[in-house]
Structure formats: structure tokens, C-alpha cells
């Protein structure tokens, strides 16, 4: 009879069992610690970039400032709240925001969504401040490596109120407004603007079309030589762009107000040395005359005559911006729009 050695135990040592039990918790702690370190590192990077951008703008005569800044959103977002934010350019144009809230995904800090819950204040160097408030004012900024960057701005039920003593603003109120800026190929940029349910204070031809009615506005343009649209201030940037051959191609533009309609079919515009628009547009204007009132303008006279014979009251003509004036055919309808 032989004696065999005892079979080894299948139970692992207690120490090994404990290590396997705590391994997931140790791994989770390491991941959490690394994530926390990464979030605070990114926060520091965001602070440094904002400070560097502010310093760079100030060195070129601009101003980017805020009275208080708070970062939060850990762990998956990077949120920043600014109090009394302000950006201004040397000629006096400025935008002030009492409270600005920004938000970005931690995985993509190149795409920011901004909200101004207390509205914004637009400062015009010669015409004074305009307070803009409404149910919602928000914007998104992305593709910062492109020029221009991709910017979208939207507002709901906005009111544009000039400060006491300030000149009127061309928009009085809107139900909804959107503005989009995009970079394109071949050194181009695109601008899209749309406003629905707008009350306006236009003068000249646009004022005659809109009158006191709610209007819908649409403008879609393409700019050439956008890389030249840079300078120490807005006026210098536009002058440099114009000297480089910059042009604005109008792809679609219209204003609808009741039965009245103005539509630009095509045209190419630029800016002259005085900062006023120059060029020509092919336009069509439809204006139904009120039969109870005598016509007060040549356009209304044409509309009344067309209605009398049962024709569509449409005027087609070239809208020319020349020598600082706006000409509809041979009719002078007022000053040309001023860009700076």
C-alpha cells in the first residue's frame, strides 16, 4: 500500500482573491482620477486661450473683456459663464452682454453654443446704443480654423429699442430672426439672413414697400476675397477688402409686406471709398395701390394704372447704387446703404 501526496487545494490564497475583488474599483478610481485631471487641464487651457485672445485683440486696438468668469460642467461638458462681457472695435462699434453662457462638449472644444438670457446691447459709434431683448438669443461658433468661422445666430420675439437720445434702428421687432455665416471655396464667404414677422423703420424704397406692416425679410449673398476682410477696425477691413476687388453677389433677396413685394433677382455690389454700397441689382416690385387714396409715388401710380386694366402691378427695373444715392430706373429713392 502506497501513500499518494495530498492533492493541491483549488482555493486561491485569500490575498489573491481580495486583489481580484478590488481590481475593478481600483481601475475605476484610476480612470476617474485621469478624467478629472484631464478636465481641469482642459479648463486651464480654455482660460489661457481666452486670456491670450483678449491680449491679442487689445494689442490691435480691440477690446475683449468681462468682469467675472466661471467655469463648470464637470465631467462631460465645459461651460463658461461671463458677466458683463464686452467686445469692441476701435471705431466705436461694440457688443455688450450682461450675462453670457457658453457650453461645449468635452470631446469637442471647437464647437461652442452661446446664450444671452438677458439680451445684448449694440453700440453704434454715431447713432448710440440699441438694446436687444427677447424670448431667446443664442449662437453657435465652430470651425474656428476657417475664415470666416462658422457662426449661426438665432433670436425669438426680439425687440430692438434705441437708448434715450439714440437714433432709431432699422429693425423695430421680429418674431424670429436667423443669421448664418459660412466659409466657402476659392476664398469666398456666404451670408444668410432671414427675419419673419418684422416691424421695420426703413427709409427710401424699402420703407415704401414695408410701410407699417409686418414684413418678412430674406437676404442670401456670397462674398469674394474674404481673406482680405481684415484690419485694425471695421472701416479699415472693408476698405482693404474693396481695394482687393471684393464683391458681394446677391443670390436672393426679398421683402414681403402684405400685398407688397420687393425682390432682387441678381446683381453684384461693392463698397465705395465713402463706405456706401455701389453697383446694381435687377429688381421686381409688386405694390397694390389703395383705390380709396390717390397715388403718392410714381411706383403707386404705376401700380394703380396696372390694376385699372387688370394687369399684375409689377415694376421691373434696375436698382442702382451710385454716387451715394439709390436709383430705381431714373427715380432717386434716397441715400445708398452705408456699410461704415
Give the DSSP letter string of 123-139. Answer: EETTTEEEEEE-SEEEE
Is 340 within a domain? no
Q: Grid coordinates standing for 327? A: 436709383
The vertex-194 CA angle with 281 and 111, nearest 5°, equals: 120
Query: The pTM is what?
Result: 0.79
286 inside domain: no
Query: What is the model's pLDDT at position 19?
Result: 61
Residue 81 lies in a domain: yes
Do residues 250 and 271 make contact, with C-beta atoms less than 8 angstroms apart? Answer: no
225, part of any domain: no
Please report whether residue 49 resides in a domain: yes
For the chain, 340 residues long, give each residue's pLDDT as a single digit of tens. 455 555 555 555 655 566 666 677 677 677 667 778 888 998 998 899 889 988 988 887 888 999 999 999 998 899 999 999 999 988 888 999 999 999 999 888 889 999 999 999 999 988 999 999 999 999 999 988 888 899 999 999 999 999 999 999 999 999 999 999 999 999 999 999 999 999 998 877 777 777 778 899 999 999 999 999 988 888 889 999 999 999 999 998 998 888 788 888 778 999 999 999 999 999 888 865 555 555 555 555 545 544 444 445 577 888 899 999 999 888 888 889 888 8
Place of cell 407699417: 212
| Residues of the domain holding 114 | 29-163
E strand map for the chain: 63-65, 68-72, 77-88, 94-105, 108-115, 120-124, 128-133, 136-142, 150-162, 171-184, 188-200, 215-223, 248-257, 260-271, 277-286, 314-322, 325-328, 331-335
Residue 322 lies in a domain: no
Number of compact structural domains in the chain: 1
Q: Give the residue among 273, 191, 204 at the shortest CA–CA distance from 239.
A: 273
| CA 70 to chain CA mean position, Å | 24
Cell of 247: 464683391
Asked if the structure places residue 310 within a domain, the reply is no
pLDDT at 193: 96
Given this model, what pLDDT does residue 297 score?
54
The predicted structure's pLDDT at residue 258: 81
User: How many CB atoms are located within 10 Å of the residue 34 CB?
Assistant: 10
- pLDDT value at residue 62: 85
Residue 33 maps to a domain: yes
Q: Report the pLDDT value the prediction gives residue 16, as an integer from 0 to 100.
A: 58
Amino acid at each position: 500500500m502506497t501513500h499518494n501526496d495530498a492533492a493541491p487545494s483549488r482555493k486561491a490564497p485569500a490575498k489573491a482573491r481580495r486583489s481580484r475583488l478590488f481590481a475593478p474599483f481600483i481601475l475605476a478610481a484610476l480612470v476617474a482620477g485621469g478624467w478629472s485631471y484631464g478636465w481641469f487641464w482642459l479648463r486651464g487651457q480654455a482660460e489661457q486661450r481666452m486670456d491670450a485672445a483678449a491680449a491679442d485683440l487689445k494689442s490691435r486696438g480691440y477690446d475683449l473683456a468681462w468682469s467675472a468668469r466661471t467655469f463648470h460642467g464637470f465631467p462631460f461638458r465645459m461651460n463658461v459663464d461671463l458677466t458683463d462681457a464686452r467686445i469692441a472695435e476701435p471705431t466705436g462699434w461694440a457688443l455688450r452682454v450682461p450675462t453670457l453662457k457658453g457650453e461645449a462638449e468635452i470631446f469637442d472644444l471647437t464647437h461652442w453654443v452661446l446664450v444671452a438670457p438677458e439680451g445684448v446691447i449694440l453700440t453704434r459709434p454715431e447713432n448710440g446704443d440699441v438694446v436687444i431683448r427677447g424670448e431667446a438669443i443664442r449662437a453657435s461658433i465652430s470651425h474656428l480654423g476657417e475664415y470666416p468661422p462658422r457662426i449661426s445666430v438665432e433670436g425669438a420675439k426680439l425687440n430692438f429699442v434705441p437708448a434715450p437720445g439714440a437714433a432709431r434702428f432699422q429693425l423695430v421687432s421680429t418674431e424670429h430672426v436667423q443669421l448664418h455665416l459660412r466659409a466657402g471655396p476659392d476664398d469666398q464667404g456666404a451670408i444668410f439672413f432671414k427675419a419673419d414677422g418684422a416691424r421695420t423703420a426703413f427709409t427710401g424704397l424699402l420703407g415704401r414697400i414695408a410701410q407699417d406692416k409686418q414684413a418678412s425679410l430674406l437676404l442670401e449673398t456670397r462674398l469674394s476675397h474674404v481673406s482680405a476682410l481684415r484690419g485694425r477696425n471695421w472701416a479699415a477691413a472693408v476698405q482693404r477688402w474693396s481695394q482687393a476687388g471684393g464683391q458681394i453677389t446677391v443670390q436672393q433677396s426679398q421683402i414681403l409686406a402684405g400685398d407688397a413685394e420687393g425682390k432682387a433677382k441678381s446683381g453684384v455690389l461693392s463698397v465705395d471709398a465713402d463706405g456706401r454700397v455701389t453697383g446694381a441689382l435687377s429688381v421686381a416690385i409688386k405694390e397694390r395701390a389703395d383705390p380709396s387714396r390717390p397715388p403718392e409715388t410714381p411706383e403707386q401710380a404705376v401700380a394703380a394704372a396696372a390694376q385699372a386694366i387688370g394687369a399684375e402691378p409689377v415694376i421691373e427695373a434696375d436698382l442702382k447704387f451710385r454716387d451715394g444715392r439709390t436709383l430705381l430706373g431714373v427715380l432717386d429713392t434716397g441715400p445708398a446703404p452705408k456699410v461704415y
